[in-house]
Structure 1
Amino acid sequence: MLRILSLKFGRVYRCGKFLFIVALFVILLMNTHNLFASFQRNELTDRRFIGLNKCPACFGTSWCRKFMNGQVTFEMWGRLRFLDFFNVKNVFFAQYGEPREGTRRVVLKRLGSNQELAEIDQKICKRATGRPRCDLIQSMYKTEFARLNGDVRLLTPEVVEGWSDLVHCPSQRLLDRVVRRYAETKDSGSFLLKNLKDTERMQLLMTLAFNPEPLVLQSFPSDEGWPFAKYLGACGRMVAVNYVGEELWSFYNAPWEKRVDLAKQLMDIAEQLTNNDFDFALYLLDVSFDNFAVGPRDGKVIVIDAENVIVVDKRLVKQNKPESYDVWYESRYEECDKEACLSFSKDILCSRVTVDHNYYAVCQDLLSRFSSWRGSTGGLLHDPPPDVVKDGRLIALLDECTRPQKRYGRFQAAKELREFLTQLTQTSNADR
């Protein structure tokens, strides 16, 4: 019976695959004219396509000259607009060329789906006119994004608190850092808000409210050792970041030694974002295999999606001393039937000095046997060699890091797991 069912399922699968290919071929034939036109023109020089016509209701203009000069071009498949149907996240791969430096690969992001971008337009219109449609440019000057114009000196927590994850619990020190490192202005380096132009202030505030990822990348840049993709610039509603490499998911079935090295790097990232010399704790709220990438040359793991990151100023927490601020906070494991599940309280993350959230997120959603992604279970460290299984230490540490059985067990397990993965990496290198 099972044999018959498997044969039937195989036939259905092959039939469905054939029909999909036929349908795709028909679509190509119907769009032949548009297909050739797509390869002949560079849509990244079109003001409407990149959303430049919507500024200052946009993310910036620092890279507009490069876009308009044709220095940024889609890679082959990115030029086919009918494929946008499958590109829900609006992430594109492109080539950026400089006369003296040659070309390099970059990633372009619209920072939201088409629906999300349309919703932000409607919100701006409703706040300004009470109607869902309006003259977007004029309406921007009637919203809260324009209220900080004039002689306002500082961007303060009272104004933007809760706008997005980045500023769920902001400190003045964090906001000064955001303004000072804002790359979409010629006067970067000053934390005084009044030194920005009116349009630049509105663009900064809109980015902060809609999708603060560019501000995270600018405030905690890769050039200073932070594990994020490098921010390059923006034009309208198109943001450019450095291409890192293939997604972490591509290494799910890599050789054991490679996966151990990647796992160690992930735990190092969790530690760096939790404890650093700057006393800023950056907690990753969205942890999945698609949100990390691996450099093709150095094999370095980098965070490539920083939209959902809470930044907590530990100095402010120590200063204000909210209730239980000095009590170590343990994230609670909860079973979930969805992929990449995490249980957390933003308010608690913001009110404690010592938090294990990043260790919990990496262990549960990426490394341990409790991890689930795209129908696969077992995590990045699945199927360890027999000697590692026999030793039992790795599995025990991963289990304690995910579902601690002892009080503060995750903190100790994360520390020991980093050390053990380092030993495994060194042993693998010595055996080569």
Structure 2
Amino acid sequence: MLGFSALRVSRLYRCGKVLVAAALFGVVLMNTHSLIASFQRNELADRRFVGLNKCPACFGTSWCRKFMNGQVSFEMWGRLRFLDLFNVKNVFFAQYGEPREGSRRVVLKRLGSNQELADIDQKICKRATGRPRCDLLQAVPKTEFSRLNGDVRLLTPEAVEGWSDLVHCPSQRLLDRIVRRYAETKDSGSFLLKNLKDAERMQLLMTLAFNPEPLVLQSFPSDEGWPFAKYLGACGRMVAVNYVGAELWSYYHAPWETRVDLARQLMDIAEQLTNNDFDFALYLLDVTFDNFAVGSRDGKVIIVDAENVIVADKKLIRQNKPEGYDVWYESRVEDCDKEACLSFSKDILCSRVTNDHNYYAVCQNLLSRFATWRGTTGGLLHDPPADVVRDGQLQALLDECTRPRRPYGRFQAARELRDLLTQLR
């Protein structure tokens, strides 16, 4: 009886696959004309497709000439619009070409799902007109973004506090840095908000409120050694960043020596973002295998999703001295039924000089036996060699980094783990 049931299930499974394949073939057949057309045209040169028609309710215009001139084009599968149903994050791969330099791969992002982008339009309309639909070009100047136009000298913490993770606890020093390094203006380099054109100012503020990832990449650029993908430019609601390489997840089954090297780099990133000469602590709130990539040439680990990053100004914390500001804070582990969970308090991240959040996030979600992702457990350092298992030190440090048993044990474990990974590498 069991054999018969298994046989029937197997047949049903095969029939299901045939039906799905037939359905896909039917879809392709019915859309043959549009498919051929999609390969013949470059949609990235279409103002409406990239969202340029929505500016200044957009992310910038610095790359619009490149888009409109056809220098940016989707790679093959990116041209098939029906595949957008599976591309919820609106992330695309494209080729960017310069006459004398040839072409190179870039990543294009809409910085949100179609629904999230529609929601932001609706919010702008409701605030400006009270209706869910309107002419965005007429509505944006009537929102809070326009109140910072005119002769307003500085972008202040009071104006933007809580707009997004980047400015959950803003300091004037951070905001001056954001404005000074804003790449969507020809006159970058000044921290004075009034030096930006009205449209540029509203684009900056909308980006800050909706998805500040471009501003993180601009304010803490890879050219200065920060572990983020390089920001290239924007056109309308399409942002271009440098292609790094395959996502970290693709290295899950790489040779042990490779995984040890990647683990050491991840711990180095945690240290750099926590303690640096600029006295800004950048805390990663969303740490998953998909949010990191590995350089195809140099093997360097880079953060490729920087939407959820809190920046705490340690200088301001020392100056204001909130209660307990100089007490080392240890992140608490809480059980969660979802993958890649992290427990944290944004307010505490903003009010303590010394915080172990980044070490906890990397150990918990990427390296240790507690890490879970896509149905797997064991983390990047799974299945170590027999001699490493016998030694026991690596497992002990990973456990202490994830579930510390001693007061401030994670801080010490993170330091020792970096040293041990260097030796193993």
TM-score by length of 1: 0.97
Partner of 2:260: 260
Q: Does 1:93 align with 2:93?
A: yes
The 3-state SS of whatever aligns with 2:384 is: coil
Report the Cα distance in structure 2 between the residues aligned to 1:382 and 1:343, rounded to whole angstroms: 23
Equivalent position of 1:192 in the other structure:
192
* 1:234-266 alpha-carbon deviations (Å, 9 max, x no partner): 000000000000000000011111101000000
1:277 to 1:29, Cα distance in 2 relative to 1, 3 A: same
Partner of 1:209: 209
In 1, the alpha carbon distance for the partners of 2:53 and 2:252 equals 42
Identity %: 85
1:6-405 aligned at under 5 Å gives the runs 10-405=10-405
What CA distance in whole angstroms lies between the structure 2 residues aligned with 1:95 and 1:423?
40
Give, in whole Å, the separation in 1 of the partners of 2:260 and 2:34: 47
Distance 2:27 2:40 in 1: 19
Shift of 1:21: 1.9
Query: What code does the residue aligned with 1:317 have?
Result: I
In the superposition, relative to structure 1, how do residues 4 and 135 fare at CA in structure 2: closer, same or farther (>3 Å)?
same
Where does the alignment leave 5 or more consecutive residues of structure 1 unmatched?
A: 426-432
In structure 2, relative to structure 1, the CA distance for the partners of 1:424 and 1:27 (3 Å cut) is: same
CA distance in 2, matches of 1:6, 1:324: 63
Q: The residue matched to 2:270 in structure 1 has which SS? A: helix
**Distance change >3 Å, CA 29–CA 401, structure 1 → 2:** same
Q: 1:407 aligns to what?
A: 407
1:15 deviation in Å? Answer: 3.5
Supply the distance in 1 between the matched residues of 2:210 and 2:21 (Cα, whole angstroms).
Answer: 38
1:430 is aligned to none
Rounded to whole Å, the distance in 1 between the matches of 2:133 and 2:311 is 34
Q: Deviations over 1:179-199 (max 9, x none)?
A: 000000001000000000000
For 1:270 and 1:6, locate their aligned partners in 2 and report how far apart those are by CA, in whole Å.
49
Distance 1:2 1:312 in 2: 61
2:97 partner letter: G
The gaps in structure 2 that reach 5 residues or longer are none
1:309 and 1:126 mapped to 2: Cα distance? 28
Three-state SS of the structure 2 residue aligned to 1:105 is: strand
Letter matched to residue 397 of structure 1: L
2:18 and 2:333 map into 1 onto residues whose CA distance is 43
1:429 aligned residue? none
Q: 1:253 to 1:4 in 2, by over 3 A?
A: farther
Q: Render the CA deviation track for 1:144-180: whole Å, top value 9, x for unaligned.
A: 1111111111000000000000000000000000000
Count of residue pairs the alignment pairs up:
425
Letter in 2 for 1:215: L
**CA distance in 2 between partners of 1:9 and 1:421 (Å):** 47
Query: How far is 1:337 from its partner?
Result: 1.4
SS at match of 2:281: strand
Q: CA deviation at 1:316?
A: 0.2
Which residue type is aligned with residue 202 of structure 1? M
Query: Which whole-Å CA distance do the structure 2 matches of 1:212 and 1:267 have between them?
Result: 24
Give the letter for the 1:68 counterpart.
Answer: M
Q: For the structure 1 residues 10 and 350, does the alpha-carbon distance in structure 2 shift closer, same or farther, using more than 3 Å as the test?
A: farther
Per-residue CA deviations over 1:188-220 (Å, capped at 9, x if unaligned) read: 000000000000000000000000000000000
CA distance in 1, matches of 2:68, 2:38: 17
* TM-aligned CA deviation for residue 16 of structure 1: 3.2
C-alpha separation between the residues in 1 aligned to 2:398 and 2:7? 39
> What letter corresponds to residue 80 of structure 1 in structure 2?
L
Query: SS of the counterpart of 2:97?
Result: strand
What is the CA-CA distance between 1:14 and the residue it aligns to? 3.6
Tell me how large the CA RMSD over aligned residues is.
1.2
Q: Which amino acid aligns with 1:292?
A: F
Distance 2:144 2:88 in 1: 29
Q: Distance in 1 between matches of 2:223 and 2:83?
A: 34
* Whole-Å separation in 1 of the counterparts to 2:293 and 2:228: 10
Counterparts of 1:8 and 1:288, CA distance in 2:
39
Q: Deviation at 1:92?
A: 0.3
Q: CA deviation at 1:130?
A: 1.1
Structure 1 residues 66-96: Cα deviation after superposition (integer angstroms, max 9, x where no partner) = 0000000000000000000000000000000
Q: TM-score of the superposition, structure 2-length normalised?
A: 0.98
Q: Deviation string for 1:266-297 (max 9, x for gaps)?
A: 00000000000000000000000000000011
2:281 alignment partner AA: A
1: CA distance between counterparts of 2:420 and 2:6?
43
Counterpart residue identity of residue 168, structure 2: H
Q: Distance in 1 between matches of 2:326 and 2:360?
A: 19
